[in-house]
Amino acid sequence: MKKLLKGSIAAVVFGALAMTSMAVQADVIDDIKKRGVLKVGVKADYKPYGFRDPSGKIVGIEPELAQDVAKKLGVKVEFIPVVSSNRMQFLQQGKVDLMIATMTDKPARRKVVSIVDPNYYSSGTNILAPKKFGFKKWEDLRGKPVCGIQGAFYNKKTGKEFGAKIVAFKGTAEVYAALKAGNCVAFVYDDSSHVAKTKSKEWADYEMPLPTIDDAPWGLAVKLGETKFHEMMSGMIKDWHKSGRILALETKWGVENTPFAKAMNAKYK
């Protein structure tokens, strides 16, 4: 028993040591230019903000924004697909230089990654549900299984305040399969994604019936401490708003111009 105890303590100490990461501070812009490639973490399952086209290439509004950044730096761009539960870790570990991955701007997240002001986009939370259920208010979800994405912040709220039983999967593809199979009655996710979905023929029997809640800004982020890159990105976002780039991209990818994008355009014009 004593031997076992000693062994377990050693194992734990070893584990803790391995987890202590050594942060190396260098200016990331120089690294990117030296490398000739800007690595950007984007979504690959979130139409139309970041998704794969039939040839497997990652395209969408956010990849186009990333392309603008690469162009400004004079380098090539490489897209690294991320999901909600690992995107901040990718940035922390230096696997990506920049993250534009539909991330909602939250104070707790600002402690971990460097979210750039002003916000580049905004969306709220809503559900995608079959029309036959006729949901009218969020409380209608009480006690029913509702699909979500693992790691999304509104899962907690939907479960805690509205009493839904959250059934969370890794990616949206699994959720859509589960929703169609009837494993859940609705999919709680960003309204911007649902808007695009309800327009497709395959999802004609589905609707986005509830009032949107938690309208919250999205933040793109760089690694903590990368002040120079942070400032450059801040300037880029202002340019995007000023030139109406965001509005143009929305139109290009079939999204109605959101109030947020219009307001920001008016503000910086």
Among 9, 85, 136, 205, binds other proteins (CB under 8 A): 85
Tokens linked to 205: 């029997």
Q: Does 24 bind other proteins (CB under 8 A)?
A: no
| Residue numbers 213-252 binding other proteins by CB under 8 A | none
Would you count residue 23 as binding other proteins (CB under 8 A)?
no
CA gap 171, 178 in Å, rounded? 11
Is residue 170 close enough to count as binding other proteins by CB under 8 A? yes
- The CB-of-198 to other proteins minimum distance in angstroms stands at 18
Work out how close the CB of 170 gets to other proteins at its nearest, in angstroms, rounded to a whole number: 6
Report how far residue 164's alpha carbon sits from residue 149's, in angstroms, rounded to the nearest whole number. Answer: 14
Write the interaction track for other proteins spanning residues 139-158; mark x where CB under 8 A is met and - where it is not: -----xx-x--xxxx-xx--
- Contact status: 11 vs other proteins (CB under 8 A): yes
Find out whether 188 and 158 touch, Cβ atoms under 8 Å: yes
Q: Taking a C-beta distance cutoff of 8 angstroms, is the pair 230, 223 a contact?
A: no
List, as own/partner pairs, every contact residues 197-201 make where C-beta atoms lie below 8 angstroms and the sequence separation is at least 24, other chains included.
Answer: 197/47, 197/128, 198/128, 199/254
31 CB-near residues (< 8 Å, 6+ apart): 97
Q: Which residue has the tokens 């990718």?
A: 90
**Bridge partners, 149 (sequence order):** 169
Beta carbon nearer to other proteins, 213 or 232: 213
Q: Which residues bind other proteins (CB under 8 A)?
A: 4, 8, 11-12, 15-16, 19, 84-85, 88-89, 108-109, 111-112, 130, 132-133, 144-145, 147, 150-153, 155-156, 160, 166-170, 174, 177-178, 180-183, 185
